Amino acid sequence: MANTYSLDLSVWLIPLRDLDDDARAVQLGAVAELELGPGQQQFVGDPLRMALAGLAEESRRPYVIESGGRAVGVLTLQAGAARLAGWPDDDSAWLLRGFLIDRRDQGRGLGPLAAAAAVAAARKLTLRHDTGEAGVVLSVNEANPAGLTAYLRAGFVDRGQYTGGQSGPQRIMFRSFGPQ
């Protein structure tokens, strides 16, 4: 009889704003242990700094990405900031920013799962607060093919080039809340 192994290919988004101080401290400790892969620092910042910045600004909703009972990444949804990704206006889409999967967990398919979970979370926020966003937008550096592939696998559509950022040419990616 062959051995069979089950890989946990599910992710949970833990909203840092919704936690009490003790639980938030535990999650932030786990975020501090996340590691960037080689060359990733040109695309994304320090995970702990990004999470703390998300907590400091009311328009941002920082999340810890968990899989298999442990932190594997972070991401932030931001309202009223879609132009930062080259979108034509600020308010018709949530901005997905500061998204990373720990280098030790990359290549397992968690990025697309977490990106899709972020869209679901943004949709719930839109419905709960009746704010009217139609989907989620992000920009991904053209020199980051792994990121581009992950977003495409998560159902995002390439909406063209954005050259307004500080990190070189970006692709504007959008995923609607409508049926995929």
Residues 32-45: pLDDT tens digits? Answer: 999 988 777 767 88
The pLDDT value given to residue 59 = 96
Domain that holds residue 72: 12-176
Of the candidates 157, 147, 154, 144, the one whose C-alpha atom is nearest the C-alpha of residue 113 is 154
For residue 16, being part of any structural domain is answered with: yes
How many Cβ atoms sit within 10 Å of the Cβ of residue 67?
22
Residue 23 belongs to some domain of the structure:
yes
What angle in degrees, to the nearest 10, is found between the helix axes of 145-153 and 110-129? 60
First to last CA, the chain: 40
User: Residue 1: pLDDT band by 50, 70, 90 thresholds?
Assistant: very low
- Tens digit of each residue's pLDDT (9 = 90 or more) over 46-95: 999 999 999 999 999 999 999 999 999 999 999 999 999 999 999 999 99
| Structure confidence at residue 43 (pLDDT) | 76
CA distance 101 to 45: 12
Among candidates 6, 25, 5, which has minimal Cα distance to 14? 25
Strand duo 135-141 + 94-101: pairing: parallel
Which CATH number is 152's domain given? 3.40.630.30
Residue 6, domain member (yes or no): no
- The pLDDT value recorded for residue 45 is 81
Domain contains 113: yes
In a domain, 7, yes or no: no
Question: Which run of H or E residues covers position 94?
Answer: strand 94-101
Q: What pLDDT, on a 0 to 100 scale, did the predictor assign at position 6?
A: 46
- The type of residue at 172 is I
pLDDT number for residue 14 = 97
Q: Give the rounded percent of residues in the chain with a pLDDT score beyond 70.
A: 94
CA 29 to chain centre: 19
